[in-house]
């Protein structure tokens, strides 16, 4: 362990969350993929801040992150970044209610990105992201109204399908 217990607490916060009251099998498959993917990026980023990079936990997380690169290219998953930009342009109120991590990573106007699978909010900063930011990122993905919007008939799923239809023509 790197001795950074604050980040271990973030990981515990992530792993204490539950989808027990939800049925992710009824969510839009693309939105499900990116929901879990965002949590994996939070896990990986906080994991390397909490534990040695060569810990089994971080090695396993890195293996998942490598696998997801090919997975995000399958089917309609490739459209997700464009969907976020489209939401910003056409449904700004819905865009503003998205989890902050999705907004900053997929908005080309924002400098945040995934770099070597880590979440980097400011490429010029040498400081790690505050643990509090990770707590907030995690909570965003478990906000009840957001989770409801992921179901196939939910508002975000419906908008994703509308985007899909508009981009096919």
pLDDT value at residue 136? 98
Q: What angle do CA 26, 33, 63 make, to 5 degrees?
A: 140
Q: Measuring CA to CA, how many Å separate 151 from each of 2, 19, 27? A: 39, 13, 4
pLDDT value at residue 3? 53
Query: Residue 74: inside a domain, yes or no?
Result: yes
Query: Residue 2: inside a domain, yes or no?
Result: no
Q: Is residue 112 a contact partner of residue 119, using CB atoms and an 8 Å limit? A: yes
DSSP state of 120: E
pLDDT value at residue 159? 98
Query: Residue 63: inside a domain, yes or no?
Result: yes
- Structurally, how many domains does the chain consist of? 1
pLDDT value at residue 169? 59
Residue 160 is encoded by which pair of tokens?
A: 């994703």
Q: What is the pTM of this model?
A: 0.94
Query: Residue 3: inside a domain, yes or no?
Result: no
Query: Residue 15: inside a domain, yes or no?
Result: no
Query: Residue 163: inside a domain, yes or no?
Result: yes
Query: Residue 31: inside a domain, yes or no?
Result: no
Q: Dihedral of CA 3/99/63/22: which sign? A: positive
Residue 120 is encoded by which pair of tokens?
A: 């980097």
pLDDT value at residue 97? 97
Domain that holds residue 88: 37-168
DSSP symbols for 58-119: HHHHHHHHHHHHHHTTSGGGGGHHHHHHHHHHH-HHHHHHS-HHHHHHH-TTS--EEETTEE
Stated length of the chain = 169
pLDDT value at residue 1? 45
For the chain, which ranges sit under pLDDT 70? Answer: 1-3, 169
């Amino acid at each position: 362990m790197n001795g950074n217990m604050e980040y271990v607490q973030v990981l515990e916060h992530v792993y204490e969350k539950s989808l027990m009251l939800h049925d992710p099998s009824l969510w839009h498959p693309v939105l499900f993929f990116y929901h879990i993917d965002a949590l994996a990026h939070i896990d990986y980023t906080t994991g390397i801040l909490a534990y040695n990079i060569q810990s089994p936990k971080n090695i396993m997380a890195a293996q998942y992150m490598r696998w997801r690169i090919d997975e995000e290219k399958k089917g309609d998953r490739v459209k997700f970044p464009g969907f976020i930009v489209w939401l910003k342009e056409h449904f700004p109120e819905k865009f503003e209610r998205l989890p902050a991590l999705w907004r900053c990573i997929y908005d080309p106007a924002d400098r945040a990105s995934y770099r070597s699978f880590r979440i980097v909010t400011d490429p010029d900063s040498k400081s790690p992201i505050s643990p509090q930011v990770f707590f907030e990122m995690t909570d965003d993905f478990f906000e009840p109204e957001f989770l409801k919007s992921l179901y196939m008939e939910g508002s975000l799923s419906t908008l994703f399908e509308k985007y899909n239809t508009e981009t096919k023509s």
